[in-house]
Structure 1
Amino acid sequence: MSNGKVNLEGVMLFEQPFARVPFENYRKVFRTSQRVIERELTAVQASSNDLAKRAKLGSPDPEEAVKSIDAMIGRVEGLKRKLSDLQDTVGSSTQDVMRERLQHLMSIEEVYSSKDGDYAQWEEIRLDRWLVDWVLRHGKERSARKIAQERDIERLVDIELFMDIRRIEDALRSRSCAEALAWCSENKSALRKLKSTLEFDLRLQEYIELARTRKTREAIAYSRKHLVSWQDTHITQIQQASALLAFPPTTNCNPYKRLYDPTRWSNLILSFRLAIFNLNTLPSEPLLHLALYGGLSSLKLPTCYDHVTKNVDCPVCDPWLGRLAEEVPFSHHVNSTIVCRMSGRIMDEDNPPMAFPNGYVYSREALEDMATWNDGKVKCPRSGEECDFSKLRKVYIS
């Protein structure tokens, strides 16, 4: 924000996932519809070609021809019902979410000043969304849903997405790849564009579990069915997996001991979360943290880490926010910003610094307040020196 104007470009930097998630959901609806159409119309086309072929060979049996045509009509009618149900149940709700989110983003374009009440309201909704995002990332769906309901922002947050993430991650913690593999199948083309190896990693883990239980024949069959197709890009891992059958789970041979390591399941959870976040352009960190990083990076100074110069009103000096501040660089100030140690307010031309005879400097506003309540006298909180307000000297910053 500069001169009270809303920095739309800066605001929109945080809003890409906000519009992308429902878009991805609608793409899934479209792909599902496309698969249904292709499957049913392919069957109708095959029946039609078969009927035409029999007609060329001679007069087909009228009853069989009518049955074949009725079957084709039934398939088309069934296709219409399926598409209608899909649109009514999923497509319509997804469209509503997209429409409401885009309208929410458009509303900020009509706000020209940060002092506008509409902007304050928009900011409040954004903070609510970030809080829900933070709660969801910590696995507290019930709390997130309650906040969303109370603040009336259910269509502005991604509760369903994070519930899917939680469901698949719970399955992986239970050492089952089925849910994650089903998700990979639904998003195969998108994962291919991202060059994600998640599906191979899941297939390899299922193979390892067969090897762990010494189901050699099943492991070999599984490898032929699911791993061999990846040999152009993962030949070394496939070869190592093939040799795994010769080593028991208790082996101390490092390459194969690592394959049997149970911590691979934790890595799979991290890989899945990274893949689904990338697919929906969601950052790996909570949006609330990213916003705090931006603010903290503009405030962080070396003095924040000196116990003598710590300021109780400084966010970087705060014990909790300070941990986040450790990950951001120090602020680069072309001009120094001087903060009153007494009031925590910035000293500038409207609130100039005033110096005691001993050289200690505080803001005029803080000293005027002190003089008002102390018969015109002021006292330095650090040295204890006391004097009349008139004895203070104005300090000019160059």
Structure 2
Amino acid sequence: MSSNKLNVEGIMLFEQPFARVPYENYRKVFRTSQKNIEKELSAVQATSSDLAKRTKGDDGSSADGAMKAIDGMITRVENLKRKLSELQDSAGIPTQSVMRERLEHLAAVENVESANTPEFQRWADVRLDRWLVDWALRNGKEKTARKIAEEKGIERLVDIDLFSDICRIEEALGRKSCTEALAWCSENKSALRRFKNTLEFDLRLQEYIELARARKNMDAMVYARKYLLAWQDTHLAQIHQASALLCFPPTTSCGPYKRLYDPARWANLTQSFRLAIYNLSTLPTEPLLHLAMYAGLASLKLPACYDPETKNVDCPVCDPSLGRLAEEVPFSHHVNSTIVCRLSGKIMDGDNMPLAFPVSGQVYSREALEDMAAKHNGVVTCPRTGETCGYSSLRKVFIS
């Protein structure tokens, strides 16, 4: 089997969010359509059942009432048709188009046999562009992300609209407003319930705290009865604590209530919201670019990378910037050790044996030292210690 054979399964592990985001969006369109159908058809069925139960009479008033009821049913059905058509045109069809294009993009790599083919190189370039856009969006650089997507023609392959919504809601939370986030919770209530996510309660509790901070105690009590009591089965202790908050001013030094008044709760809410929307959209919490780099760095990271005397300028882990990412990944684990020449970067093995300088013991590959000797009349020099000797003086090193 060729060592360059494409690992399609490994590639697809990174691509699950890529296909899942538009799928979740289409599910949302479907659920909205279903709710509208159930609501309007239930009313139509109720009206038709009422008409069927009416006693037949000869007077015109009964016939007029029936006609009005039928006209009302027709109007409801026509309104339902219009709503569904608008929803399909505005969200359904565009989402279907995005899903189709993304699946076709993934299907293209399944027919590629080798990583060295031009087809895969083009596909990998598009993937890197997608990851750069993802990184830019996660770091608040929306204009940069849009520019890259536009220039590369990959608008349908990236989630700019999703991150635009995230940015809008996080900006509102930064202004200490829960309105946008609560609207999002309302749209995704069933999904949040399925994941047992309590973001909505946390937002409601924060609005209650802000009323208590403003010393609007009556408004706070009304708010608690309307929005917090619905969570008493799962958050009774927190509701009790929130009720007692009205007895403490914002300047209190009492630990539990001082923490409730802590402005840092807004930053925690922003983080909780981002985790919730990532979870619902099946997005990883780290940029995809970082995850791919983690995978590569984990295969290269060695203890020697953190020794100032053995740092390699060609090693990504030894690089000061990439090395910070490498701090979060484990060391590379090799069942069989691999020794790489520091001059040529090639693996030293039976075909390219390691040779050592007689005094310093510095080891380099036979190919690299032969090339050096050919250029300097049979003399080789260690680049680390400056030791010089004839090529014939080098000692063979046997790997065991």
Same fold (TM over 0.5): yes
Residue identity matched to 1:120? Q
Shift of 1:291: 1.1
Distance 1:220 1:2, change over 3 A: farther
Q: Is the contact between residue 296 and residue 325 of structure 1 (CA under 8 Å) also seen in structure 2? A: yes
Hey, what does 1:118 align to over in structure 2? Answer: 119
CA distance in 2, matches of 1:69, 1:350: 90
Hey, what does 1:360 align to over in structure 2? Answer: 362
Hey, what does 2:314 align to over in structure 1? Answer: 313
Shift of 1:337: 1.8
SS at match of 2:300: coil
Unaligned runs of 5+ in 2: none
Residue identity matched to 2:53? K
SS at match of 1:378: strand
SS at match of 1:242: helix
Answering whether residue 171 of structure 2 is matched by residue 189 of structure 1, we say no
SS at match of 1:61: helix
Deviates more, 1:46-55 or 1:199-208: 46-55
Hey, what does 2:36 align to over in structure 1? Answer: 36
Hey, what does 1:5 align to over in structure 2? Answer: 5
CA distance in 1, matches of 2:2, 2:302: 23
Shift of 1:129: 1.1
CA distance in 2, matches of 1:139, 1:101: 24
Q: Is the contact between residue 216 and residue 245 of structure 1 (CA under 8 Å) also seen in structure 2? A: yes
Answering whether residue 156 of structure 2 is matched by residue 139 of structure 1, we say no
Shift of 1:340: 1.8
CA distance in 2, matches of 1:330, 1:57: 88
Shift of 1:391: 4.0
Q: Is the contact between residue 342 and residue 366 of structure 1 (CA under 8 Å) also seen in structure 2? A: yes
Q: How many residue pairs end up in the alignment? A: 398
CA distance in 2, matches of 1:74, 1:2: 67
CA distance in 1, matches of 2:55, 2:364: 101
CA distance in 2, matches of 1:10, 1:2: 16
Hey, what does 1:84 align to over in structure 2? Answer: 85
- Deviation track 1:323-380 (CA, whole Å, cap 9, x = no partner) reads 1111111111222221222233332345432333333221233223323432343212
Distance 1:205 1:378, change over 3 A: same
CA distance in 1, matches of 2:307, 2:388: 28
- Deviation track 1:9-29 (CA, whole Å, cap 9, x = no partner) reads 211111111111001100111
SS at match of 2:31: helix
Unaligned runs of 5+ in 1: none
CA distance in 1, matches of 2:351, 2:89: 61
Q: What is the 5 A alignment of 1:207-246?
A: 207-246=208-247
CA distance in 2, matches of 1:280, 1:375: 65
SS at match of 1:362: strand
CA distance in 2, matches of 1:138, 1:165: 12
Hey, what does 1:172 align to over in structure 2? Answer: 173
SS at match of 1:387: strand
Shift of 1:51: 2.7
CA distance in 2, matches of 1:323, 1:43: 61
Shift of 1:170: 0.5
Q: Is the contact between residue 342 and residue 362 of structure 1 (CA under 8 Å) also seen in structure 2? A: yes
CA distance in 1, matches of 2:232, 2:101: 46
Answering whether residue 18 of structure 2 is matched by residue 18 of structure 1, we say yes
Residue identity matched to 1:41? L
CA distance in 2, matches of 1:282, 1:125: 19
Shift of 1:206: 0.6
Q: Percent identity?
A: 71
Answering whether residue 69 of structure 2 is matched by residue 53 of structure 1, we say no
Residue identity matched to 1:34? Q
Q: What is the 5 A alignment of 1:330-369?
A: 330-358=331-359, 359-369=361-371
Distance 1:144 1:203, change over 3 A: same
Residue identity matched to 1:397? I
SS at match of 2:74: helix
CA distance in 2, matches of 1:84, 1:351: 70
Distance 1:26 1:127, change over 3 A: same
CA distance in 2, matches of 1:57, 1:38: 32
Q: What is the 5 A alignment of 1:245-264?
A: 245-264=246-265
Shift of 1:33: 0.9
CA distance in 1, matches of 2:69, 2:79: 15
Residue identity matched to 1:101? R
Shift of 1:68: 2.3
Distance 1:28 1:2, change over 3 A: farther
Hey, what does 2:386 align to over in structure 1? Answer: 384
CA distance in 2, matches of 1:189, 1:45: 26
Q: Is the contact between residue 311 and residue 344 of structure 1 (CA under 8 Å) also seen in structure 2? A: no
CA distance in 2, matches of 1:369, 1:163: 56
- Deviation track 1:248-293 (CA, whole Å, cap 9, x = no partner) reads 1111111111101100000000100111111111111111111111
Shift of 1:34: 1.3
CA distance in 2, matches of 1:309, 1:56: 99
CA distance in 1, matches of 2:192, 2:288: 23
Deviates more, 1:309-318 or 1:355-364: 355-364
